[in-house]
């Protein structure tokens, strides 16, 4: 198979050429020479190394209790729809993922997904590393069952056991959150990141901070030389939006305009490692009644990236790094740059065709998006997953 068009190199340079890949879905050649191609993308399209989302809740486990919210099949379809070519699945399911048997059962369920899924394992007071798992998730505030730490002392005791792995941490201080569960103040995040940075340094553990929502938190993570991610919702919405739309509720919450603008500035400067969605589907009925925290965002990853490029003038080099290269490295995938020998996973964005987000275009089972009625300045034209081509009907 040969695709032709403008593609983006690791250095963020736009080049024209033809990319060939074999039946196994491996890139075999990249050339600027003229010749035959199977698909020629328009001059308004850009071929990126496939986007990778390291923070997803596809919900499904062997209890099937949450399958009404999402499952691996629908999450995979939402990923393809949003230009996401691989994702990491979080362990806070009805049966928390803590042991090898949990990981294995979820890996087998995840085969229904159109995109590769990496299953993260949880850490709690009594857990131990699981063979073959390199990415772990820690909750410093309430999650499901006993999959969280109430006391950082317990976390400090467990952390050294995970020295050889990547530990993703949800940083909100448990005591502050218990005291103020509605507001979930910024200081809860800042305090937790400060403590985690100290522990990471002391025990020499590769810590990654999930969904940083405040400028102060981002600066502390940088100072502590920790990798960290930011979500589309924290880069887009503010407290004012939350007041108007109660569905925009997640943990940590959206913050002030000042925080939002500062995060965009840091992102644009290449000072934030990863863009991750924290895709957390709940049905619209649930959101309109009990309103559990979390919003679905896999479907809108690509259009949101188009917004970063066109509206916020984020350089292509930063996009390649934060959406493809850095997250691929964290998950240990053979993708993230367009090079011979890498997986033929690509996200093709059309930056000349705006798209208005509507319920009808979504593939998530939850069936709604916090970005509904918002028009992004570009759309996903095709998602190519290890050589398998999915072209968008709406292209
Ligand atoms: Zn999450």
pLDDT in tens, 313-347: 999 999 999 999 999 999 999 999 999 999 999 99
What distance in angstroms lies between residue 276's CA and the mean position of ligand 1's atoms?
Answer: 10
What distance in angstroms lies between residue 140's CA and the mean position of ligand 1's atoms?
Answer: 12
Residue 154: which domain range? 58-331
- In a domain? residue 211: yes
pLDDT exceeding 70 applies to what percent of the chain?
99
What distance in angstroms lies between residue 373's CA and the mean position of ligand 1's atoms?
Answer: 24
Confidence check: pLDDT of 395 > 60? no
Going by DSSP bridges, is the β-strand pair 45-49/51-56 parallel, antiparallel, or unpaired?
unpaired
- In a domain? residue 340: no
Mean pLDDT of all residues in 153-172: 96
Question: Between these two residues, 213 and 393, which has the higher pLDDT value?
Answer: 213
- In a domain? residue 5: no
What distance in angstroms lies between residue 223's CA and the mean position of ligand 1's atoms?
Answer: 23
What distance in angstroms lies between residue 243's CA and the mean position of ligand 1's atoms?
Answer: 22
What distance in angstroms lies between residue 75's CA and the mean position of ligand 1's atoms?
Answer: 14
Confidence check: pLDDT of 283 > 60? yes
Predicted local distance difference test score (pLDDT) of residue 394? 63
Confidence check: pLDDT of 393 > 90? no
- In a domain? residue 10: no
Banded model confidence at residue 372, pLDDT cuts 50, 70, 90: very high
- In sequence order, the β-bridge partners of residue 242 are none
Q: Which two tokens stand for residue 283?
A: 């049905």
Q: Which two tokens stand for residue 181?
A: 């569960």
User: What CATH number is associated with residue 109?
Assistant: 3.20.20.140
- In a domain? residue 48: no
Predicted local distance difference test score (pLDDT) of residue 143? 80
- In a domain? residue 384: no
What distance in angstroms lies between residue 339's CA and the mean position of ligand 1's atoms?
Answer: 31
Per the CB < 8 A criterion, the answer to whether 40 and 78 are in contact is no
Average pLDDT, the chain: 96
Banded model confidence at residue 140, pLDDT cuts 50, 70, 90: very high
Banded model confidence at residue 125, pLDDT cuts 50, 70, 90: very high
**DSSP characters for 146-208?**
T-S-SSHHHHHHHGGGGTTSEEEEE---HHHHHH-TTT--HHHHHHHHHHHHHHHHHHT-EEE
- 278 is known as an active-site residue: yes
What distance in angstroms lies between residue 21's CA and the mean position of ligand 1's atoms?
Answer: 34
Distances (CA, A) of 236 to 77, 232, 317: 24, 6, 21
What distance in angstroms lies between residue 74's CA and the mean position of ligand 1's atoms?
Answer: 18
Predicted local distance difference test score (pLDDT) of residue 265? 98
Marked catalytic residue, from 273, 278, 299, 343: 278
- In a domain? residue 339: no
pLDDT in tens, 43-52: 999 999 999 9
pLDDT in tens, 168-196: 999 999 999 989 988 899 999 999 999 99
> Domain count of the chain?
1
What distance in angstroms lies between residue 372's CA and the mean position of ligand 1's atoms?
Answer: 21
For residue 1, give the nearest of 34, 31, 25, 35 by alpha carbon.
Answer: 25
Predicted local distance difference test score (pLDDT) of residue 250? 97
Q: Is the pTM of this model over 0.85?
A: yes
Predicted local distance difference test score (pLDDT) of residue 43? 95
- Kindly report which listed range (134-148, 268-282, 322-336) carries the lowest average pLDDT score: 134-148
- In a domain? residue 2: no
What distance in angstroms lies between residue 55's CA and the mean position of ligand 1's atoms?
Answer: 6
């Amino acid at each position: 198979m040969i695709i032709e068009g403008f593609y983006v190199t690791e250095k963020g340079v736009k080049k024209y050429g033809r990319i060939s890949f074999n039946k196994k879905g491996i890139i075999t050649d990249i050339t600027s020479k003229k010749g035959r191609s199977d698909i020629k993308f328009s001059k308004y399209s850009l071929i990126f190394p496939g986007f990778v989302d390291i923070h997803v809740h596809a919900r499904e486990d062997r209890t099937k209790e949450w399958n009404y919210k999402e499952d691996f099949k629908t999450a995979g379809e939402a990923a393809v729809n949003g230009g996401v070519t691989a994702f990491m699945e979080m362990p806070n399911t009805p049966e928390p993922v803590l042991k090898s048997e949990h990981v294995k059962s979820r890996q087998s369920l995840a085969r229904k997904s159109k995109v590769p899924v990496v299953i993260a394992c949880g850490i709690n007071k009594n857990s131990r590393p699981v063979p073959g798992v390199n990415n772990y998730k820690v909750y410093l505030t309430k999650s499901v069952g006993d999959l969280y730490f109430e006391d950082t002392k317990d976390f400090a005791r467990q952390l050294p056991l995970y020295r050889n792995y990547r530990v993703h941490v949800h940083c909100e201080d448990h005591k502050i959150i218990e005291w103020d569960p509605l507001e979930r103040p910024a200081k809860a995040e800042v305090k937790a990141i400060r403590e985690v940075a100290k522990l990471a340094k002391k025990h020499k553990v590769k810590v990654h901070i999930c969904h940083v929502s405040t400028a102060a938190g981002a600066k502390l993570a940088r100072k502590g030389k920790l990798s960290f991610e930011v979500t589309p919702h924290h880069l887009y919405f503010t407290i004012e939006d939350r007041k108007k739309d109660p569905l925009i509720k997640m943990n940590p919450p959206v913050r002030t305009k000042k925080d939002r603008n500062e995060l965009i500035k840091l992102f644009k400067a290449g000072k934030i490692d990863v863009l991750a969605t924290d895709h957390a589907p709940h049905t619209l009925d649930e959101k309109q009644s009990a309103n559990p925290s979390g919003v679905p965002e896999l479907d809108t990853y690509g259009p949101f990236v188009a917004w970063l490029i066109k509206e916020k003038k984020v350089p292509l080099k930063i996009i390649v790094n934060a959406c493809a290269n850095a997250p691929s490295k964290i998950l240990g995938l053979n993708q993230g740059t367009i090079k011979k020998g890498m997986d033929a996973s690509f996200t093709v964005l059309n930056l000349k065709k705006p798209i208005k987000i509507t319920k009808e275009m979504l593939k998530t089972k939850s069936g709604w998006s916090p970005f509904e009625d918002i028009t992004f300045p570009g759309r996903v034209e095709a998602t190519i997953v290890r050589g398998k081509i999915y072209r968008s009907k709406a292209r």
